[in-house]
Amino acid sequence: MARPALEVADILNAHGDAYEKAHAGHLSRGQLKVMSAIRSCRTAVLGGHVARCAGCTHLEIAYNSCRNRHCPKCQEATARDWLAARQAELLPVPYYHLVFTLPAAIGAIAYQNKAAVYDLLFRASAQTLTTIAADPRHLGARIGITAVLHTWGSALTHHPHIHAVVPGGGLSADGVRWISGRARFFLPVRVLSRLFRRLFLDGLRALHAAGRLAFFGDLTPLAETPAFEVLLAPLRRAEWVVYAKRPFAGPAAVLAYLSRYTHRVAISNSRLLALDDRGVTFRWKDYRARAKAAGNGWIKAMTLPADEFIRRFLLHVLPDGFHRIRHYGLFASAVRAANIERIRALLGPQEESTHPTPSAEQEKADERPRCRCCGGLMTIIETFARGSLPRTWSAEPIRIDSSWAPRPFPGIRLSSQAMPSPASGPCALCHPRGHFHHHRGTRKMLPPRRPVHDWTGWVPPSAWISAPRSVFPPSTPASNPHSTAKTSTVAHVGPRFPPLGAFRRRPARPASPS
């Protein structure tokens, strides 16, 4: 996949230091940790490895990922592994998607008490579903729930809500039969909304009575019980949003949905459009205008100052150790495997898939990266630690041209004294991926950016760079008539370039005496 033109890391690199300085003392340790992880993700700060193609000896340097769950670049592998585990647990029944949303009046309390309120949101939504489903007037069965917490809206505002995926049926109370729900209908939304409202508000009051809620800033008066009860009074009469979507088309559609929702972060890099003097521009979806907009007119662009963008992004940093994907009912971890096996036995034999299942060796081989040049398998030949640079930076002889202009390349430091000036001669180093221009008489080379003159000299020892021992044999350097450098500031490690004789035609062998 091609790298996006703009990433969250680019925004943090450009404005993160100023934001931390302006909000010193008001950022949590978790927020600072997330900012640092995203900025260092897939850079030399975290170290990495060097991989070489077995076919064309092409080299690639891959830096390590931060693996932070809030990083937009580190969720693909985690989501793939999680979905592979869930694929074996899918049941051949319809699945339903339900959303439980908190009112805006509770959003501020939830932000200042993330661990307690988000945990209550999970418990209240799960208890609502299991209670209504167990009622004989509705389904009369024990169900399984997979719940995912999202805390953001499309515009990065604080909008806590739970996405729940539930199979359309459940086990009877005695566990001896499977009870299927009605076609295209799971549970009444209005009943779910009423029970969810009561369970959550009762739980929130219990947290306040136990002293587990903290209030800061404008919410400080809510620490008093009378003020807190005044806040809750109108919420007991308001309509709480519980949304039930139509059932999925099948297990494949369930996996497609889960892949989009389970390991999503507040904003993906693909939604970022620009970073300029005005701020950060990104795409967002205006769901309120969706019904009236023509085509994709409800998908709009929003520009925020960089400081406000970072503030909104950090709103959604979860507490350390908080699980944002949870399973309840039949899918609870302790009994999940046994319950799924029992349900499949009750549903009877299902049609086997016609697609062959790859072996573990094949799956492991398919995961190995491929060479972007020839498609061959890449093999790791070196790993390097945090803050270090790879020692093996090229698998081919270094190309040399005679243009005098220095051409710097990443990871190599050359002494400015070692590079000859235009008046002293046309000797310099070019990009390392290539061959010597006149090595062994060949002239097949990449076209240089400046005219190439005939090679008659030698690169000064102070401009030499380290190369793998497999590239050149040890040799003794010769003098360079074009260089005026007398001292070197570059450390010499490893083998050198071939001697001057490697670039000239070998002298004729003397005739043997008759």
In whole angstroms, how far apart are CA 402 and each of 76, 407, 448, 449, 451?
46, 12, 9, 11, 8
* Dist. CA 218–CA 164, nearest whole Å: 33
Q: Do 336 and 438 fall into the same domain? A: no
Query: Which is nearest to 64 in space by CA: 439, 435, 384?
Result: 384
Is the Cβ–Cβ distance between 460 and 485 less than 8 Å?
yes
- Of 352, 369, 402, the position where a domain reaches its end is 352
In a domain, 402, yes or no: yes
Prediction pTM value: 0.72
Q: End-to-end alpha-carbon separation of the chain, Å?
A: 70
Q: Do 238 and 335 fall into the same domain? A: yes
Q: Do 139 and 253 fall into the same domain? A: yes
* Dist. CA 460–CA 457, nearest whole Å: 9
Q: Do 257 and 138 fall into the same domain? A: yes
For residue 21, the one-letter residue type is K
Q: Do 333 and 453 fall into the same domain? A: no
Q: Do 341 and 480 fall into the same domain? A: no
Q: Do 85 and 178 fall into the same domain? A: yes
| Counts for the chain of helices (H) and strands (E), in that order | 11, 13
Q: Do 340 and 438 fall into the same domain? A: no
The total number of structural domains in the chain stands at 2
Q: What's the distance, CA 492 to chain centroid?
A: 39
For residue 371, the one-letter residue type is C
- Rounded mean pLDDT for each run of 10 residues along the chain, 514 residues in total: 82 96 93 95 91 86 91 84 82 90 93 96 97 93 93 94 92 91 85 96 96 94 95 94 81 74 87 95 90 85 96 95 93 88 84 44 59 87 86 52 42 37 37 36 39 38 40 41 42 43 50 54
- Of 336, 352, 368, the position where a domain reaches its end is 352
Complete edge-to-edge strand list for the sheet that includes strand 325-329: 242-245, 95-101, 158-167, 144-152, 325-329
Q: What is the DSSP letter of 49?
A: E
- Element housing 512 (H / E): none
pLDDT of 306: 96
For residue 263, the one-letter residue type is H
In a domain, 107, yes or no: yes
pLDDT of 171: 93
pLDDT of 510: 57
What does 345-402 look like in DSSP terms, one character per residue? HHH---PPPSSPPPPHHHHHHHHS-B-TTT-PBEEEEEEE-TT---S---SSPPP---
pLDDT of 129: 96
Note the helical H segments in 43-159. Answer: 76-87, 104-112, 114-134
Q: What is the DSSP letter of 278?
A: T
Instruction: Name the β-bridge partners of 184.
Output: none
Q: Cβ atoms within 10 A of the Cβ of 402, count? A: 21
Q: Do 208 and 335 fall into the same domain? A: yes
In a domain, 84, yes or no: yes
In a domain, 219, yes or no: yes
pLDDT of 320: 92
Is the Cβ–Cβ distance between 477 and 485 less than 8 Å?
no
In a domain, 144, yes or no: yes
SS3 30: helix
In a domain, 344, yes or no: yes
pLDDT of 509: 56
pLDDT of 406: 44
In a domain, 425, yes or no: yes
Block residue for tokens 């494949």:
252
What domain range is 230 assigned to? 76-266+324-352
Q: Do 229 and 99 fall into the same domain? A: yes
pLDDT of 471: 39
- CA dihedral for 144, 150, 154, 157, sign (positive or negative): positive
